């Protein structure tokens, strides 16, 4: 039986609190279920297949044609996280989420965008410290990214990392980036119950665990001054309605169309974090079911619908947004120059 949003909010707050204070968190999976779930997991793994291909390298400068139109330097965009952040499952650099968002951000800002992606397939949240260090290095903080996108959490669930530890590691990474002056947008743990080959009861358990982690991630990230976008069932009803088109050949990672759908959902929040979105859109619109809520309640609301943004406003309150999506520009309109990497 699904948990109510109020109950989900309480669980998420307990996980986030345990993460903040170093507690053990919650035991979310009873030992009696382990045998059955292990059998289901093995069956799902055979049906899913998995991809061993290296994600295409997409680092470089996007929107170089805008260089002569703007006196300011290029916008620096960092990408961190797991295989979804890296773009595993597609074959062309321009199909990865980093390239898609760099191209779109360049078109909106009318400025070049320098992309550096340090995401690692298979990464759990304990790899974020290494990735943040790669991005920031030992350079002057003036060279830090202007904005970073983090997508993490799926492997924390599948490898049974304690949720409080996963949240603490993410929170620490976000805090380091914020201290370096970066705006941060986190795509929270996707709903693993949406993966088509996964059967019951594993599907129900995977959905519950991934949503609880996503809500706790949201609370911790917002409290560090960053924003989240719920990846939900891999970003909205499009995936549920068209799984054959939006999942890749391994039935686990998104296809090129799936990554484009994800990028369209993240783009408005990415632009808003840099002040590139209309200011009137920052106010809650009741017609779009937007409101200011306690952060834990906003987190629980967000995980139920992919593409939902949560941003802190003041104290324990957060803004719940369903931003209007903007179509991505055709790839040929905003060319990349990979040789001009960060």
Quick one: pLDDT at residue 257? 81
Annotated catalytic residue 127 = no
Q: Which of 59, 82, 233, 253 is catalytic?
A: 253
Q: Give the number of other CB atoms < 10 A from CB of residue 34.
A: 11
CA Rg value for the chain: 19
Distance CA 146, CA 154 (A): 26
Annotated catalytic residue 83 = yes
Question: What crossing angle do the helices spanning 163-179 and 5-21 adopt, rounded to 10°?
Answer: 70
Tokens of 179: 């201290």
Annotated catalytic residue 91 = no
SS3 content of the chain, % helix, strand, coil (to 5): 50, 15, 35
Strand ranges in 167-224 using DSSP code E only, listed in sequence order = 183-187
Quick one: pLDDT at residue 152? 96
Quick one: pLDDT at residue 204? 74
Quick one: pLDDT at residue 229? 96
Q: Which of 8, 51, 59, 83 is catalytic?
A: 83
Residue among 147, 71, 142 at smallest CA distance from 111: 71
Torsion sign across C-alpha atoms 208, 213, 216, 217: negative
The residue written with tokens 């986190």 in the block is 186
Quick one: pLDDT at residue 199? 61
pTM for the complete prediction? 0.86
pLDDT tens, position by position, for the chain (342 residues)?
Answer: 466 788 888 888 888 888 877 665 444 444 444 445 445 555 554 554 455 678 899 999 999 888 876 667 899 999 999 999 999 888 899 999 999 999 999 999 999 999 999 999 989 999 999 999 999 986 556 779 999 999 999 889 888 899 999 999 999 999 999 999 999 999 999 887 766 555 666 677 778 888 999 999 999 999 999 999 998 765 444 455 555 544 445 555 677 787 888 899 999 999 999 999 877 677 888 888 999 999 999 999 998 888 899 999 988 999 999 987 767 766 555 455 554 433
Distance CA 162, CA 269 (A): 29
Distance CA 297, CA 283 (A): 18
Q: Which of 53, 250, 281, 285 is catalytic?
A: 250
Quick one: pLDDT at residue 7? 83
Distance CA 277, CA 130 (A): 32
The CA-atom distances, in angstroms, between 218 and each of 34, 48, 103, 128, 320 are 28, 28, 26, 16, 11
51: left (phi over 0), alpha (psi -120 to 50) or beta: beta
Quick one: pLDDT at residue 67? 81
């Amino acid at each position: 039986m699904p948990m109510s949003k109020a109950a989900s909010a309480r669980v998420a707050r307990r996980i986030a609190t345990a993460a903040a204070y170093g507690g053990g968190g919650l035991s979310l999976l009873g030992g009696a279920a382990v045998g059955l779930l292990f059998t289901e997991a093995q069956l799902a793994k055979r049906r899913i297949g998995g991809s061993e291909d290296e994600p295409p390298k997409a680092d470089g400068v996007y929107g170089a044609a805008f260089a002569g139109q703007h006196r300011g330097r290029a916008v620096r965009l960092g990408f961190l996280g797991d295989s979804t952040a890296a773009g595993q499952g597609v074959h062309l650099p321009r199909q990865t989420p980093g390239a898609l968002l760099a191209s779109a951000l360049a078109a909106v800002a009318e400025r070049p965008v320098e992309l550096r992606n340090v995401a690692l397939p298979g990464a759990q949240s304990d790899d974020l410290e290494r990735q943040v260090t790669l991005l920031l290095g030992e350079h002057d903080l003036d060279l830090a990214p202007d904005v970073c996108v983090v997508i993490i959490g799926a492997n924390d669930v599948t490898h049974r990392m304690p949720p409080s530890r996963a949240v603490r590691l993410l929170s620490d990474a976000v805090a380091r980036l914020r201290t370096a002056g970066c705006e941060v947008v986190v795509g929270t743990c996707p709903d693993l119950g949406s993966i088509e080959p996964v059967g019951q009861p594993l599907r129900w358990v995977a959905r519950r665990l991934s949503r609880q982690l996503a809500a706790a991630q949201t609370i911790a990230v917002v409290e560090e001054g960053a924003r989240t976008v719920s990846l939900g069932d891999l970003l909205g009803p499009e995936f549920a309605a068209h799984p054959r088109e939006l999942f890749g050949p391994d039935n686990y990672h998104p296809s090129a169309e799936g990554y484009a759908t994800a990028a369209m959902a993240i783009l408005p929040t990415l632009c808003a974090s840099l002040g590139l979105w209309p200011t009137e859109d920052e106010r809650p619109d009741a017609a779009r079911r937007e409101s200011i809520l306690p952060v834990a309640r906003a987190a629980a609301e967000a995980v139920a619908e992919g593409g939902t943004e949560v941003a802190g406003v003041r104290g324990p309150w957060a803004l719940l947004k369903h931003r209007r999506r903007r179509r991505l520009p055709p790839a040929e309109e905003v060319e990349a120059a990979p040789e001009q990497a960060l």
